Amino acid sequence: MATSDFENNSGDSGDFFGNNGRYMSGGGEWKPKNLIDAISEIQQFFVMEKEGQSISPEFLTLEGTIGFFKTGMKTGFNEAIFIFLLFPIFWFYLTPFIFHSGWLGDALLDGIPFVLLIVNTIMCLYMGRYHIGTLTRRAIHSVYFGRTIILVIMSFVLYVLYFCAANLAKPVRVWSLATGFTYNEEMAKSMYYGAEKVLPYVIPSAMVCSLLMLMGGLLPYGAAFLLDRKRRKKKDKTQARVDGD
């Protein structure tokens, strides 16, 4: 993030905290490359606002807000692509046909496509602890909204694709596809019976996958809302005790 020297009205050089240092300039210079960068920037906003600095909401300009929104979109898109690539390999090939590790081993293997989704969701939940003040709220909401909108769209796309595939996978079509893929009759039969074995689980599995993506996108919003509500109640109780005194 770029910085520039700042001279305050008193003539002393300083940052927002009145210390010798650098002044953070706003606007388009906030273009976090990834989720960790976004959290780092939000942490700086949090420190400024927690210290009671009087900062205009326009400090985070439209371009800066869009920068956080794009980071959220990029994060959600990477998660969705990771799931799109690994979900069918693990759920419809490796787990049912290659590895037979019992229900716990199968559950762990089936969870691999969602590793990135889980990690980023945890990071977004961690980000929610800074949901205080104007700047932090605006930045956090921008990241959340960008990520959530992509995950919602991609979860719908994934379900529709697998729903269409399951309904189009009639026995005749599956056999035709298998024989077109290989001239080896035994291999074609193996592919055919394998497809018939996993076919009943395609739509239920796709529904589970879509729901997990939706939860990953919406959970940080809910957690931030509940945390904010808890803080407000605590503040109201504290104020009530003060007024009572």
Q: Could you report the per-residue pLDDT of 11-61, keeping only the tens digit for each?
A: 343 444 443 333 344 444 668 889 999 999 999 888 888 877 667 777 888
90: Cβ contacts below 8 Å, ≥ 6 apart: 109, 110, 112, 113
Of residues 184 and 160, the one with the higher pLDDT is 160
Helix or strand or coil: residue 11? coil
- pLDDT over 60 (residue 216): yes
CA of 25: how far to CAs of 16, 76, 127, in Å?
A: 11, 28, 22
> Which residues in 30-46 are b (16+ Cβ under 10 Å) and which e?
bbbeebebbbebbebbb
Length of the chain measured in residues: 245
**In this predicted structure, what is the pLDDT of residue 171?**
83
**In this predicted structure, what is the pLDDT of residue 26?**
42
**What are the residue ranges spanned by the domains of the chain?**
65-244
> Which residues in 153-192 are b (16+ Cβ under 10 Å) and which e?
ebbeebbeebeeebeeeeeeebbeebbeeeeeeeebeebb
107: Cβ contacts below 8 Å, ≥ 6 apart: none
Can you give the C-alpha Rg of the chain in angstroms? 25
CA of 67: how far to CAs of 29, 93, 152, 176, in Å?
A: 9, 39, 20, 49
Return the beta strands (E) in the chain as ranges.
3-4, 23-24
**In this predicted structure, what is the pLDDT of residue 158?**
95
Nearest CA among 62, 63, 45 for reference residue 53: 45
What's the pTM?
A: 0.79
